[in-house]
Amino acid sequence: MLQAIGLTSTPRRNRPPAVEDLTFEARPGQVTALLGPAGAGKTTALRLMLGLEQGRGVTYFRGRPLHRVAHPMREVGVLLGDVPGHPARTVRGQLRMLCAVAGVPASRADDLIDAVGLDAFADQRLDTLSRGMDRRLGLAAALLGDPHTLILDEPATGLAPREAAWLYGMLRAHAAEGGTVLHTTADAKAAARTADRVVAIRSGRLVADQSAADFARTRLRPRVAVRTPHAARLAAQLLREARAARRSVETVTERGNRLYVYGSDCAEVGEAAFRHGILLHRLAEETGPAPRHPDPAPERTPAPERTPAPRPAPPGTHPSAVAPDIPPAAALTPLHPHASAPDALGPHDPAPARGARRRVRRVRRGPSRPLRYELRRLTGVPSTAYVLGGTVAASALLAVLTGRLAATPAPVAVAAWPDLLPLPPAALGAGLVGAYSFGDEYRYPALAAALGAGPRRLGLLLAKLAVTALTALLLAVVVAVVDLEALRLVYGGALIPVPSNWPALCAGWVALTVGCGWAGLLAAGVFRAAAAGIAAVLAVPVVIAPAVEETLLRPAARTVAGLPSRLREVAWPRWPQEADRLLDGALRVLAQPVGAALTLSLSTLLCAFVFTGLRRGVRW
């Protein structure tokens, strides 16, 4: 059972809250529709229930608040808006990536693709899907963790009738298996037709909580829908004939050519149009609320004198206690002032007054399997292959061009790092991979669609650092090997002389590529944009390195010469004598302007990442 108690959103800029003291429940085995017009606060209410927005109140999912559920995606499946995936990712790749978030096997994605009818579209890109296919994919993503509760925000908006019927059938099947389903809608007729219970809200407040049968009986009215280019003329004729026959008929004109007639039937309306020579484009009987219109009140004929006066509303009934989009004249029975409260709160359920004072705690969790998630995110889009392949090709071409100069040292030619470039192509490529790692999280927030997942969790950060470092290391090795082979192929098969300090050169080369990848990663995480990560990588040699070089060239009272031996003398336990060379090599790398600038940049970005995460309320 889902119980929402005292939900109240935090108002902004002295405005009234979008949701205020909203209390209702959705029962297992039933489909509950949260009904309201646009701007009524339906989406805000769902976000408050899921802990995605700050506010007051508490929501219990089978007796537990969501922040105390170990695996939220196994308790609640969510579909809010469109599927926010990378446009170049395939349907199967998107679901397999979300499987790592939910902590379920990757085979679950293939099972759900079959269940929602996406077999023929499994390898298609997300940007090629139609609206109906996107809804099917969103439902599959919500069902990944096999949740007990499904929460969907207007899932049938923009769908064809056949697709909408299929979707509601899936929701009904989930409820028939004992699950809880809550979805929002602005269509009162669809809510009464597809749901077991209807919860109507207006301006963020609860105005009705009824079964679908009671809602259809008391909130909906039979009417005749007419479409004609002479709507006003037909309405006048119908009212004139109704006055003559002393019958109660109400007409409402909408959008110039649409007419709704209450208190009549298709035969009477059709005969009246035929007698007066009025062309009809549509004539059908339906059940629904009277639409809103700019007139202060709809035109209606006076009731016959023998008709009894309508029963007055009970004392204290609020005038807004009617269904959304239904004017007071269209409502048959006003709600009792106490009918808006849920009628099935058990004796052991928390009191609404106590729950209303509690603040909604935001759920901040990362993927259940962050390393697997990051690997699938990195390899699931073609941009990664384009960046890595372009980097290797550009580096090989630049190495060949640099090798034409006789004065170019062999390490510079192999690294493809002439003086005119701030960084070699391998370092720039690693920086791009790192920048896109966090940049795509905020540009295409797939984790936002997965309940309880956030891109700033410590486990996800460590996974991104590890995957970025591994990618940068492989890129550095591949670039070096390809550049060396390109130089041998173009300029002869003679072996390039190996310098005596090749271990230090290799260590510096790997440290440079990995450091640039981490710099792009952290900067994109701090500023939430891939462009910021690329700018941070370029700022290391262009801005930070000159400042560090100027600082290092100043005369100092003491130098780092002999530092390893001095540290070994005071350290306990003492490290082996061979460690002096490793420490000395590391110090020499850090003493270089680019190495010192990169170290300073990484330290600053890491501190900024942690600080901004703490300020945004992320629990590390």
- pLDDT tens by residue, 413-451: 888 888 888 899 999 999 999 999 999 988 888 876 666
Pair 13, 79 in one domain: yes
Residue type for position 503: P
Q: Which of 133-137, 351-355, 407-411 has the highest mean pLDDT?
A: 133-137
* pLDDT-derived band at 345, boundaries 50, 70, 90: very low
403, 491 contact by CB (below 8 A) = yes
> Across the chain, how many H-helices and E-strands are there?
22, 15
- Which among 353, 348, 357 has a CA at the least distance from the CA of 57? 357
* Domain shared by 483 and 513, yes or no: yes
Q: What is the CATH number of the domain that holds 185?
A: 3.40.50.300
Q: What DSSP string runs through 56-78?
A: EEEEEETTEEGGG-S-GGGTEEE
pLDDT value of residue 387: 95
pLDDT over threshold 80, residue 378: yes
Task: Give 367's pLDDT tier (boundaries 50, 70, 90).
Answer: confident
What is the C-alpha to C-alpha distance for residues 366 and 448, in angstroms, rounded to an integer?
A: 10
Q: Residue 129 is encoded by which pair of tokens? A: 């899907």
Pairwise CA distance, residues 97 & 89, whole Å: 10
pLDDT at residue 254 above 90? no
Does residue 430 sit in the same domain as residue 306?
Answer: no
Co-location of 106 and 193 in the same domain: yes
- 115 in a structural domain: yes
Residues 365, 370, 374, 376, CA torsion sign? negative
Q: Are residues 241 and 213 in the same domain?
A: no
Q: Encode 555-577: b = buried (16+ Cβ within 10 Å), e = exposed.
A: eeeeeeeeebeeeeeeeeeeeee
Asked if residue 184 and residue 169 are part of one domain, the reply reads yes
Query: E strand or H helix at 173, and its extent?
Result: helix 161-176
Distances (CA, A) of 145 to 71, 96, 545: 9, 12, 49
Per-residue model confidence (pLDDT) at position 16: 86
Domain boundary among 169, 192, 218: 218
State the pLDDT at residue 586.
53
In a domain, 354, yes or no: no
58 beta partners: 5
DSSP string, 373-420: HHHHHHHTSHHHHHHHHHHHHHHHHHHHHHHTSTT--HHHHHHT--TT
Torsion of CA 76, 79, 80, 84, to 10 degrees: 120
Q: Whole-angstrom Cα distance, residue 191 to residue 169?
A: 13
Query: Is the model's pLDDT at 276 over the cut of 80?
Result: yes
Phi then psi dihedrals of residue 484, to 5 deg: -65, -45
Do 79 and 92 reside in the same domain of the chain?
Answer: yes
Domain C-terminal end among 183, 200, 218: 218
φ, ψ at 453 (rounded to 5°) = -100, 140
> Which residues span the domain enclosing 41?
2-218
Note whether 525 and 456 are within 8 A (CB): yes
Q: Supply the DSSP string of 227-246, one letter for each residue.
A: E-TTHHHHHHHHHHHHHHHT
> Do residues 65 and 159 both lie within one domain?
yes
Residue bearing the bigger pLDDT, 215 or 329: 215
Q: Is 512 part of any domain? A: yes
Q: What is the pTM of this model?
A: 0.74
Report strand pairing: 258-262 vs 299-300. unpaired
Among 234, 58, 49, 238, CA closest to 150:
49
Q: Measuring CA to CA, how many Å separate 219 from each of 31, 241, 337?
A: 19, 27, 16
Q: What percent of the chain has pLDDT over 90?
A: 44
User: In the Cβ-directed half-sphere of 391, how many Cα atoms lie within 13 Å?
Assistant: 28
Enumerate the β-bridge partners of residue 259.
226, 253
Same domain, 554 and 434: yes
- Judge whether 359 lies within some domain: no
Of the ranges 26-30, 188-192, 261-265, 361-365, the best mean pLDDT one: 26-30
d(CA 80, CA 157): 12
330: number of CA atoms within 13 Å, CB side? 29
Please write the tens of the pLDDT for every residue from 83-123: 888 999 999 999 999 999 888 999 999 999 999 999 999 99
Mean pLDDT, range 126-137, rounded to an integer = 92
HSE-CB for 200 with a 13 A CA cutoff:
28
Nearest to 583 by CA among 600, 594, 571: 571
Which two tokens mark 465?
A: 């650092």
Domain assignment present for residue 152? The answer is yes
User: How many residues belong to the chain?
Assistant: 620
* Beta bridge partners of residue 120, listed in sequence order: none
**DSSP state, residue 13:** T
- Are residues 505 and 394 part of one domain? yes
Residues 385 and 455 reside in one and the same domain: yes
Q: Are residues 376 and 495 in the same domain?
A: yes
Which burial class, exposed, middle or buried, applies to 43 when counting CB atoms under 10 A from its CB (0-12, 13-18, 19+)? buried
Evaluate if residue 342 carries a pLDDT over 50: no
The region of weakest confidence among 161-175, 318-332, 379-393, 594-608 is 318-332
Indicate the number of domains in the chain: 3
- Phi first, then psi: what are they for 254, rounded to 5°? -135, 130
Q: Is residue 533 part of a domain?
A: yes
Residue 357 lies in a domain: no
Taking all residues of the chain, what is their mean pLDDT, rounded to a whole number? Answer: 80
Q: What is the pLDDT of residues 2-22, one digit of tens each?
A: 999 999 998 777 788 899 999
Does the structure show a pLDDT above 80 at 179? yes
Q: What is the pLDDT of residue 588?
A: 54
- Which residue has tokens 């493809």? 416
Tens-digit pLDDT profile for residues 505-528: 888 899 899 999 999 999 999 998
Residue where one domain finishes, among candidates 218, 233, 250? 218
Residue at 345 is within a domain:
no
What mean pLDDT do residues 183-210 have? 91
Measured CA to CA, the distance from residue 370 to residue 169 in angstroms comes to 34
Alpha-carbon distance 8 to 21, whole Å? 5
In DSSP terms, 286 is beta-bridged to 223
